[in-house]
Amino acid sequence: MKNFTYINILLMLIILLVGCNTVGNDSIKGGTQKADRYKLEVKGVDNVDVLDTHGGVEGWEQMQGFYDNIQNGIASDLRIVHYTIEGAPIVTDLTYNGESLEVKNDYSRDTYGSGEIITNKCGNMVKEANDTNLSYIAIDCNGIPYGMDTILQISYDSSEQDLFEFELMYGEELENEINTLTKQAKKEITVNETEVMADFDLPPHIKQEVFNRLVFANYLAEKDLKAMCDIEDIMNYQLKVHINSGQRVFRWAACDQSVDGVKLTEVAEYIIEQSDKKQSVEPEIKVQGYVLEMTKDTMLIVEEINMLDFEWIKVELPQSDMNSFVFDFTNLEGVNTTEFSIGDKVQATLKGTVRGSKPGSANVKEIKKIEINAND
């Protein structure tokens, strides 16, 4: 009798466990993606997946996951909060049913705005990356200009900062240092021998990539990092970021496998890797942008914008001066323009540098068209 009761209990436990696993799998494969998703704490707004503040985005991975679901036809939802300059939250709710996308923008908490709740039906979403920004854009939308709505834009242009430098110390005792502020690097070769490099610096495009990675690591947010390990001979890191008139300091150990710890370790290892490489004194300069005008061998492009910005500029530019816009305009010279059309997005490798501004001019070494589509 005891054995029979024991077997019955065991079978019931197995059924319950299988049932629990089935529910979890169903919530992922079908219906709306809500299971076990980390939610951000935002005052006055519940169930927030992505928080877009001035200069930082938290939960970007959730945005990327939602975009991936759309491309794979998986029904899902997402809530984004954008803060206005005055500090009011604008709530954007995205719902994808497997075929179409609903975008609901809630301005009711913005006392300086319209206070409206506007819902639009869209067909798809595009992810468009530039060297200094990344945009997620809803396309084929009804009732809005150009049929497009920028859902989230992440900017990471280090040249827009008054100051961006960093100091990385690493090693078991933080004995190594890479310092772009003092332009000095110090690396331990052996226990009793240290190499010091004066006039050390990293090229602008490497610094730009570091800034890019820091932005996606949301470096402006508070971090709960693990600075001690129970493992011997573990790598330790300290990163001090000088940004404009402020500083951010992070101290952590390689054993920190939290999301923040892993991201910062990747940033640190990238800096170390690039500091060990022999960098080109004069790396090739590349520009990319949308074609606005063309003559026989010259095309005018507007740089580092997304497809929605282009549609707006195309209409506004004939009525305005280029100096009215914050974007860079460049005449690319020496181009076989018969291979291109107005509205193409191109990337050009230059001979030398850009001369002047608004518009600048540059000779082209190589140029190619960049395809933008929903599967980018």
The per-residue pLDDT for range 272-292, each reduced to its tens digit, is 999 998 876 677 899 999 999
pLDDT tens track for 17-53: 333 333 333 333 333 444 456 788 888 898 999 999 8
Residue pair 144/103 in contact (Cβ under 8 Å)? The answer is: no
Residue spans of the domains in the chain: they are: 40-155, 160-276, 286-370
d(CA 203, CA 279): 7
pTM above 0.85, yes or no: no
Distance CA 92, CA 47 (A): 12
Mean pLDDT of the chain: 87
Domains 160-276 and 286-370 share a fold: no
Residue 372 CA to chain centroid, in angstroms? 17
When the candidates are 3.40.720.10, 3.40.50.300, 3.30.1560.10, 1.50.10.150, the CATH number that belongs to 160-276 is 3.30.1560.10
Cα 10 to chain centroid, rounded: 49
The mean per-residue pLDDT over the stretch 119-132 comes to 95
Give the residue, 24 or 138, on which the prediction is more confident.
138
The DSSP annotation for 190-216 comes to ETTEEEEEES----HHHHHHHHHHHHH
List pLDDT tens digits, range 74-114: 999 999 999 888 888 999 999 999 999 999 999 988 777 67
Class of 286-370 in CATH: mainly beta
> Taking 80 as the threshold, does the pLDDT of residue 212 lie above it?
yes
